[in-house]
Amino acid sequence: MIQRTPIADAFTYVLMVLGFILLIGPFIVILAGASQTLQQINSVPFHFLPQDRFLENASAAWSRANLGTAMTNSLIMACLVTFGKVALSACTAFAIVFFRTPLKHLFFWMVFITLMLPLEVRVVPTYAVAADLFEPFRLLISALTGTEISVEWNLLNSYAGLTLPLIATATGTFLYRQFFMTLPDELAEAARMDGSGPVRFFVDMLMPLSRTNMLALTTIMFVYGWNQYLWPLLMITDPTYKTTMMSLGALLPSENSLPDWNVTLAGSLIIMAPPLIVVAVLQRWFVRGLVATEK
Amino acid sequence: MEKRSVFNSWWLPILFALPQILLILLFFYWPAIAVMKWAFTLEPPFGGAAEFVGLTNFKEVFADPFYWKSVAVSLIFALCGTFFTILVGLVLAIAVDRQLPGSGLFRFLYILPYAIAGPAAGMAFRFILSPERGLMASVNAAFPDFWNPAKYGTHALVLVIVIFAWKWAGYTFIFLLAGLQSVPRSLAEAAAMDGAGPIRRAVDIQVPLLAPTLFFLLVIMMTEGFVGSDTFGIVHSTTGGGPNHGTEVMVFRIVDEAFKGLNYSGASAQSIVLIGLIMIFTFIQFRFIEKRVHYK
């Protein structure tokens, strides 16, 4: 506290409450709407008080959009994406920082340039690759040797297709790289002195040391994985592989039936819950990861 | 910056980097090359190899008034989205940074919208800001036809900007609060001694010292507004680019043209333009970060 300023303090509280209404208000509307009956939710003006119908609406939404399958698929996808990103970015950063090789600059720039190629601008050819994973290799081999080989691996409608194209990560790699750079040189020297090779150093020293980093990266990547929209939409046509983001459309009241938005809101609340819980419970790590990856 | 002490092995680094490099080659570089190829070639309508057509695809894209409309929509979306996210984030960060009792709770709450996926938020806001029910119905009852995003393109654009700003305000808030907390307390104390009140201190000391953070967020949010995955998700799940192309942002048009219109060459030419734009943003961002490191 620098000085006593009652008027400014009151004004500060007004601003903070306004911010609360603006940013948390929509959650309250969703929660209230999701727990009302069909009549209540369609009444004008809107009632902000939550009622007692949430469980009925949630179970209606659960069966309408088949959320059991979708939640499982989203969970599997988010976990695979998170694990893959954390593991691969640690390995790549290790190769870039701790070895004397001319390739490290090539690796670094290759990873860096991916920042400029978001999925939306390369979506058709990426889809083509996923539909026929070995096409690049086939073309390469036939160009080099002149022989035609016929291996095919189609990633459509599979967990591999949902996750593999999303696993490469520049931000994660840079986070690890930055962390590895801050470690003192003596650490690797001491490890070497004690007879440890690079792999041992990586597993026994770097991994335990980077636990904080790992947790921060895990939280942001889980939210990223859960919230993927465009890629699953293209990749999946088989309903058994549908993710939650794809079920949003199924939750919408159809044009000529009852406007049961209470069910829609209950469903969307279920879909929002997992990343919301991660951010709420692990907020310290989430914020740390966010601030660290953007530097 | 180079490490002095490193391991000597020529094959281990390759082995360690290989999984990610392989994924990048397959899912980033190969598709990027395909985009390049398609942008400058045209598939003949009755089959056969693609023909090299030079800049024809680009000329066709630039001659299309709907393309320029999508550029304008994207520009409005990114500019307004950036402005409001940064404004809300800044005001709330300054308020929370005063560390009054209870501000910790607000800080915790303000970050929550950032956890929500754009399309899920879009679904909820279709109800919250719907013309017939939710919050705007009473306003529409008093002033008929005041708000109808299904009918008016401008209203729809306002709707998607509101959703974008709602989600990303918490994000700018985090960075601005972190920036404010690194401003030395003694500066504010000295200003208070000189008779500056809280608002004067915020405007004349805190905001100018936040300039690097503000600039950084400006670039990040503009990039996010133009090509962020949320931009596509929000538009796709709320308005579908309509009404009458009123919310058709550039990324939405690319995906739509490719998968609905099956016009790969046109979509690829648009992609190249967008990649150029991202390169400019990234270049600005890294030039600036270099500078910030030097000044530290």
Q: Show the domain range for B223.
A: 53-295
Please report the ipTM that was assigned to this predicted complex.
Answer: 0.89
Q: Give the distance from CA B70 to its chain's centroid.
A: 16
What type of residue is B200? Answer: R
- Give the model's pLDDT for residue B61: 87
Cis peptide, bond prior to residue A125, ω within 30 of zero:
no
- Give the model's pLDDT for residue A136: 77
Provide the CATH number for the domain around residue A61.
1.10.3720.10
Could you tell me if residue B24 is inside a domain? no
Task: Find where tokens 């308005």 sit.
Answer: B239
- To 5 degrees, how large is the angle CA A130–CA A135–CA A137? 120
- Give the model's pLDDT for residue B5: 63
Report chain B residues whose CB lies below 8 A from the CB of A287.
111, 174
pLDDT at B120 over 70: yes
A136-175 residues touching B, CB cutoff 8 A = 136, 164-165, 167-169, 173
Count of alpha carbons within 13 angstroms of residue B224, beta-carbon side:
24
- To 5 degrees, how large is the angle CA B169–CA B173–CA B179? 150
Mutating which of B2, B7, B177 best tests the A interface, going by the most A Cβ atoms within 10 A?
B7
For B25-64, letters b (16+ CB in 10 Å) and e give ebbbbbbbebbeebbbbbeeeeeeeeeeeeeebbebbeee
Give the other-Cβ count within 10 Å of B65's Cβ. 8
Q: Which residue of B has its CA nearest to A259?
A: B133
- Give the model's pLDDT for residue A257: 77
Q: What is the 3-state secondary structure of B245-295?
A: CCCCCHHHHHHHHHHCCCCHHHHHHHHHHHHHHHHHHHHHHHHHHHHHHHH
Q: Specify whether the CB–CB gap between B265 and B41 falls below 8 A.
A: yes
Report chain A residues whose CB lies below 8 A from the CB of B267.
124
Report chain B residues whose CB lies below 8 A from the CB of A109.
none
pLDDT at A14 over 90: yes
Could you tell me if residue B22 is inside a domain? no
CA pair distance A56, A101, nearest whole angstrom: 62
Could you tell me if residue A82 is inside a domain? yes
Q: What is the mean pLDDT of residues B260-273?
A: 87
Which one of A70-79, A246-255, B54-63 scores highest in mean pLDDT?
A: A70-79
**3-state secondary structure at position A53:** coil
Provide the CATH number for the domain around residue B240.
1.10.3720.10
Could you tell me if residue A1 is inside a domain? no
Confidence of residue B82 (pLDDT cuts 50, 70, 90): very high
| Total residues found in chain B within this entry | 296
Q: Give the distance from CA B204 to its chain's centroid.
A: 29
CB contact under 8 A, B28 and A249: no
Q: Quickly count helices (H) and strands (E) in chain A.
A: 17, 0
Could you tell me if residue B251 is inside a domain? yes
Q: How many domains does chain A have?
A: 1
Report chain B residues whose CB lies below 8 A from the CB of A226.
117
Could you tell me if residue B188 is inside a domain? yes
State both tokens at A231: 């890629």
Q: How many domains does chain B have?
A: 1
Could you tell me if residue B170 is inside a domain? yes
pLDDT at A135 over 70: yes
Which tens digits make up the pLDDT trace of B167-218?
Answer: 999 999 999 999 898 888 888 888 888 888 888 888 888 888 888 888 888 9
Which tens digits make up the pLDDT trace of B154-177?
Answer: 999 999 999 999 999 999 999 999
Q: How far is B113 from chain A (nearest CA, A)?
A: 7
Which tens digits make up the pLDDT trace of B104-114?
Answer: 999 999 999 99
What type of residue is A72? Answer: T
The full DSSP string for chain B is ---SS-B--SSHHHHHHHHHHHHHIIIIIHHHHHHHHHHHEE--TT-SSPEE-TTHHHHHHHT-HHHHHHHHHHHHHHHHHHHHHHHHHHHHHHHHHT--TTHHHHHHHHTGGGGS-HHHHHHHHHHHT-SSSTTHHHHHHHSTTS--TTT-HHHHHHHHHHHHHHHHHHHHHHHHHHHHHTS-HHHHHHHHHTT--HHHHIIIIIHHHTHHHHHHHHHHHHHHHHH-HHHHHHHHHHTTT-STTTT--HHHHHHHHHHTS--HHHHHHHHHHHHHHHHHHHHHHHHHHHHHHHH-
A54 touching B, CB under 8 A? no
Could you tell me if residue B235 is inside a domain? yes
State both tokens at A88: 């691969």
- Give the model's pLDDT for residue A27: 93
Q: Show the domain range for A90.
A: 6-293
